[in-house]
Amino acid sequence: MSTERDSETTFEEDSQPNDEVVPYSDDETEDELEDQGPAVEPVQSRVSREAEQSRETFRKDCTWQVKANDRSFHEQPHFINTKFFCIKESKYANNAIKTYKYNAFTFLPLNLFEQFKRAANFYFLVLLILQTIPQITTLAWYTTLVPLLMVLGITAIKDLVDDVARHKMDNEVNNRTCEVIKDGRFKIAKWKEIQVGDVIRLKKNDFIPADILLLSSSEPNSLCYVETAELDGETNLKFKMALEITHQYLQRENSLATFDGFIECEEPNNRLDKFTGTLFWRNTSFPLDADKILLRGCVMRNTDFCHGLVIFAGADTKIMKNSGKTRFKRTKIDYLMNYMVYTIFVVLILLSAGLAIGHAYWEAQVGNYSWYLYDGEDSTPSYRGFLNFWGYIIVLNTMVPISLYVSVEVIRLGQSYFINWDLQMYYPEKDTPAKARTTTLNEQLGQIHYIFSDKTGTLTQNIMTFKKCCINGQIYGDHRDASQHSHSRIEEVDFSWNAYADGKLAFYDHYLVEQIQSGKEPEVRQFFFLLAVCHTVMVDRIDGQLSYQAASPDEGALVNAARNFGFAFLARTQNTITISEMGAERTYNVLAILDFNSDRKRMSIIVRTPEGNIRLYCKGADTVIYERLHRMNPTKQETQDALDVFASETLRTLCLCYKEIEEKEFEQWNKKFMAASVASTDRDEALDKVYEEIEKDLILLGATAIEDKLQDGVPETISKLAKADIKIWVLTGDKKETAENIGFACELLTEDTTICYGEDINALLNTRMENQRNRGGVYAKFVPPVQESFFPSSGNRALIITGSWLNEILLEKKTKTSKILKLKFPRTEEERRIRTQSKRRLEAKKEQRQKNFVDLACECSAVICCRVTPKQKAMVVDLVKRYKKAITLAIGDGANDVNMIKSESCARSQRNLNC
């Protein structure tokens, strides 16, 4: 029945997964994928009718409303929600965060509840109750109460110490200070006092207290540099830029105090790289995106001060939305101890029952004739046997080890200190020892079967180095002198002729420098000029030396390479960029920047030269560049051969190209570009369409090859882990080509490895599912399942799968459902039954598919999941734990790894052991 799919999650079976696209957001549930209802109509008389009409377009998706400098606005009745019975709470969270488990009122009941979930503790509680009954007690009640209180007390004190540490960390964060507009001026306020709609001021090296809209800063064009290590593990700086109108009018304290802007944006979610909203101010609407938002957890660098408007606070911030739910983890020792205690219970009950039956029999046969037994004269033997059953339970209570759990906790505490004192885990370069954050999971470290690791900053140092390049079909980067003769003796290129060289680039091809200096081939100079002009890097001067701040380490490495080869990026404004070309400074007008994203996989810049010519410079992945090249490109094949060589050396590659643009052509295109850049809806799609019109018929210049350095000892460590039969799964958000290259670099993959991709895995799983259906039938439940392998026993195999294919394979792919189909019609009992059966079949199919995927993946020596979201990382970990019952270890260094770490049996963050 077609109507059976109206309220179920649907799967896009006809669409092919895109390897380059990060799949749907973690927050996109079925209900959120549907069209949302209208939001509450705000009263904003200052906004013009045109702005009000444009706001209607946003109301479907943007229901979060923020008004600057107006706390009373967010306290209106329609923003108050009923949370529990009659307790009401504002939809806008305050900025205080809570990571602790207990408070003064909940500690005793919650802690006792957790402790009595342990079988031994619950047993002695029941025993204590039995000992208060005079008819059955054989021991004084305090003989059980005292040891029980000692056990409960020691464990409670340990839990209290752990939770007090959490309280201290929360208090330290919540009591940090920043400047907030109050009563028309900036005043010092604690983070926990900040509310949505407040205007705040931050200074250099300050942590950002909430998710804020950047209004202005001390830098030109209100730029702001932030370090996002707490979010994504990357230490390189990223820059944000305020709207031009807020930069122009919101620099002074009095103007910030009277700022009354109104924002409508998306609801709080965990998408770190996306934001959609609109600012309504001065009778005009201004589109907002992620480039104008500063997220909580970032640190402001290289910016004296900045001003911002709080949009999300506390638990609503993106970093807190990524933290996931805290799960109580139990080890195999915990389960084993519970199993032992349950076994002892059974033995104790059977033994007590046997003794009670024997006692009843003896009473019936002998007891009544014994003149020295008086207590049973008025009771039947069976009743006396019943009472003695409980008496024996009390007498034999020593069979249950009450101190077992405490002994294990003490051992774990000692192990945690040994971990902290381990000199082999000490990192001298940063004076960082290992630190066990908790004592719950220590013994799991020696039982690990699977390791799940992030890539960036974990396997790699996230430090890029320019190694080779291909210009006009010629490969440069080998050990050659100025006459193109190869030498076995390694001699670095001397860049002392260049005043802007930083002296850090190790390059060995002297012939390339000779080509640049001679100027015989203009393409060589054009190549490095493109690297110096086509980027989003910001420059700063420290002690007279240039210092580049790049949003991407790849981009920073390329701009640094151009600098060393004579084309130094010196300065930029919103409309110009200044380059030193072999010592001569030239300034170019920037007409447009065509941004990079994961869909486009390229970036372009359009500049006007001092001579008046207009040129487009573009760099990007070879797959997208080659589709847009002019058909007359003589070096196309030579460059492709060079790319293959670079890929075999596990180098990261980019293609460079350019295009001359006529004045009339640019004017026509610029009108479309300006219209798309201010579009209220689907702005990204509109811009992409406009970009496509100009990025065609490009002239290929060449390709770059850079190396992503591994952490020290990674290949050796992976080799030793493989010998211990520990399998490594890499879960990363990087693109497939990059992840595959790193796999070869760290020797997870070798030349002998057969790599299976998403489409291969999907075909194998479809075949297996079909075979399982064919074997099914009336007698399927009586036939034992056949455990057959997916691959032959011989050979070394690895799996590389993207997030989109992962959703396809695991049947997690969701799509929007039609509002027409969601109409609720009365259903008969038969329709409900069919619907329920359909749901059960779908769930059974999904479960079987996921189990097959885990079985297949575990047959591979290595698994690399790329372009995956934080939720998918956690899902993969959970599947392995569920179907393999294995001990697992997670390694990560960013907020995108938190979900994965919380799903783990054991976890490691940077150099701190979360065990």
Instruction: Confirm whether residue 670 is marked as ligand binding.
Output: no
Q: Rounded to an integer, what distance in angstroms lies between the CA atom of residue 321 and that of residue 25?
A: 12
Helix (H) or strand (E) holding 739: helix 736-745
Tell me the two tokens of residue 182: 């109050």
Select from 618, 606, 601, 592 the least CA-distant residue to 698: 618
Biggest CA–CA distance in the chain, Å, is 127
Q: Rounded to an integer, what distance in angstroms lies between the CA atom of residue 598 and that of residue 255?
A: 38
Which amino acid, one-letter code, is at 133? I
Instruction: Confirm whether residue 713 is marked as ligand binding.
Output: no
Instruction: Confirm whether residue 893 is marked as ligand binding.
Output: yes
Instruction: Confirm whether residue 733 is marked as ligand binding.
Output: yes
Chain length of the chain: 915
Instruction: Confirm whether residue 867 is marked as ligand binding.
Output: yes
Instruction: Confirm whether residue 455 is marked as ligand binding.
Output: yes
Q: Rounded to an integer, what distance in angstroms lies between the CA atom of residue 278 and that of residue 289?
A: 9
DSSP β-ladder status, 284-288 and 177-182: unpaired
Active site residues: 454
For 205-264, the DSSP string reads: TPBP-SEEEEEEESSGGGEEEEE-HHHHS--SEEEEE--HHHHHH--SHHHHHT---EEE
Instruction: Confirm whether residue 873 is marked as ligand binding.
Output: yes
Residues in CB range of 602: below 8 A, 6 or more apart:
596, 618, 619, 620, 621, 624, 625, 695
* Secondary structure E strands in 269-406: 277-281, 284-288, 293-294, 299-301, 305-312
Instruction: Confirm whether residue 454 is marked as ligand binding.
Output: yes
DSSP 560: H
CA 128 to each of CA 125, 138, 322, 396: distance values in angstroms, whole numbers, following the listed order = 5, 12, 45, 13
Select from 418, 453, 466 the least CA-distant residue to 439: 418
Tell me the two tokens of residue 828: 């008969």
- Three-state DSSP state, 882: helix
Q: Rounded to an integer, what distance in angstroms lies between the CA atom of residue 124 and that of residue 352?
A: 16
Select from 700, 806, 799, 786 the least CA-distant residue to 754: 799
Instruction: Confirm whether residue 596 is marked as ligand binding.
Output: yes
Beta bridge partners of 654: 704
Q: Rounded to an integer, what distance in angstroms lies between the CA atom of residue 428 and that of residue 136?
A: 64
What residue spans of 810-897 are helical by DSSP H? 829-858, 870-884
Select from 881, 44, 314, 857 the least CA-distant residue to 903: 881
Number of helices (H), then strands (E), in the chain? 26, 35
Cβ–Cβ under 8 Å, residues 313 and 196: yes
**Could you tell me how far CA 227 lies from the centroid of its own chain?**
16
Instruction: Confirm whether residue 824 is marked as ligand binding.
Output: no
Q: Rounded to an integer, what distance in angstroms lies between the CA atom of residue 345 and that of residue 400?
A: 8
Instruction: Confirm whether residue 819 is marked as ligand binding.
Output: no
Cβ–Cβ under 8 Å, residues 809 and 801: yes
Q: Rounded to an integer, what distance in angstroms lies between the CA atom of residue 30 and that of residue 8?
A: 8
CA 33 to each of CA 12, 60, 395, 812, 843: distance values in angstroms, whole numbers, following the listed order = 14, 11, 63, 14, 20
Residue 217, Cβ density class (10 Å: 0-12 exposed, 13-18 middle, ≥19 buried): buried
Instruction: Confirm whether residue 897 is marked as ligand binding.
Output: yes
Q: Rounded to an integer, what distance in angstroms lies between the CA atom of residue 77 and that of residue 403?
A: 54
Cβ–Cβ under 8 Å, residues 696 and 628: yes
Instruction: Confirm whether residue 896 is marked as ligand binding.
Output: yes
Residues in CB range of 81: below 8 A, 6 or more apart:
88, 89, 90, 91
| Gyration radius from the chain CA atoms | 34
Binding residues: 454-456, 555, 596, 619, 652, 732-734, 867, 873, 893, 896-897
Binding residues for Mg(2+): 454, 456, 893, 897
Binding residues for ATP: 454-456, 555, 596, 619, 652, 732-734, 867, 873, 896-897
